[in-house]
Amino acid sequence: MVALALLGLIRLICMLVDIFGRSLVSAAAMEFVHANGPFHNKTKVIFVLGSTGCGKTKLSIDLATRYNGEIINSDKIQVYKGLDIVTNKATKPEQRGILHHLLGSIQDPEADFTVQDFCLQVPKALDEITKRNRVPIIAGGSNTYIEALVEDPTLRFQDKYDCCFIWLDVSLPVLYNRVSERVDEMVDAGLVDELREMFGPGADYERGIRRAIGAPEMHAYFMAEMDHSEDEAGKEFLFKDGIQKTKDNTLKLAESQVQKIERLRTKWDIHRIDVTAVHESRGKKAVVAWENLVLKPSFSIVSEFLEMDG
């Protein structure tokens, strides 16, 4: 009798464990479901696009802060170590502790970081990020690299990843003013001294980090500095000419970036956010404009994207 009672008790315990154990497991699974969790077939990736000076870096950090993300740099010059002012890298305080990948990671200033290198490195970074249950955010201005990544037939990126594209767009006249102001700000921050340290009379401006806008443009001025026969008026002219050429070529880059994104928009579903009013504002008005015109729609887009099954 005792044996039968004990057997019945054991069966009852097993049945209770089976019932409640499965419930607990199910609840635990639901608790840890996230953007790249088990209920999604594809890894979700956010892209922040836009011309130079539009606010891509700021938005990517805001998104990473809100959605527990990490950022993969897609600027082919920012990938190099050095020229932080010239390439306008986010400072440590600006990064707010967000982990950045492919930012200042190449030590050799002469090395070429190709499209193929980018397409090889990004999937590795994506794997690292998703293993930490975080949201990957790819941000930068090298749209040719981004297009190659997304459409590479070997990688089959779109088969593996669910993509959300956000484009920060600025009207060209306002962008022109912003770019000019930013170059002046960079000069005040030490752009010329930074370039001088990288300067060499036989420098190759077709390779590595010296492709950065500003390096070839200031070459003539640095050569004049080395020529003790050059008078101060001549040096001053070359200095101003170099700065103006830096502005002009930055504007050409911005125009090219916008044209590229407009072309990509014909085949990709890209969310356009107009940030013109932000760059027309100053001080507190600019902060409020950023929150209302950029953050609110961006958070809405990304929240909906992350909640959708991939």
pLDDT tens, position by position, 29-53: 333 334 565 555 789 999 999 999 9
What strands, in cross-sheet order, belong to the sheet with 161-169?
Answer: 100-101, 69-73, 135-139, 43-50, 161-169, 270-274
Q: Which helix (H) or strand (E) holds 148?
A: helix 143-151
pLDDT score for 310: 61
**CA separation (Å) from 56 to 59, 106, 298?**
5, 22, 12
pLDDT score for 227: 85
First vs last Cα of the chain: how many Å apart? 57
% helix / strand / coil in the chain, to the nearest 5? Answer: 55, 10, 30
Place of tokens 């249950």: 133
Q: Where in the chain is the domain with CATH 1.10.287.890?
A: 177-247
pLDDT score for 35: 55
Q: What is the CATH number of domain 177-247?
A: 1.10.287.890
Q: Which residues is 48 bridged to in the sheet?
A: 139, 166
Residues of the chain predicted below pLDDT 70 = 1-40, 310
pLDDT score for 30: 30
Q: Where in the chain is the domain with CATH 3.40.50.300?
A: 43-170+258-307
Overall CATH class of domain 43-170+258-307: alpha beta
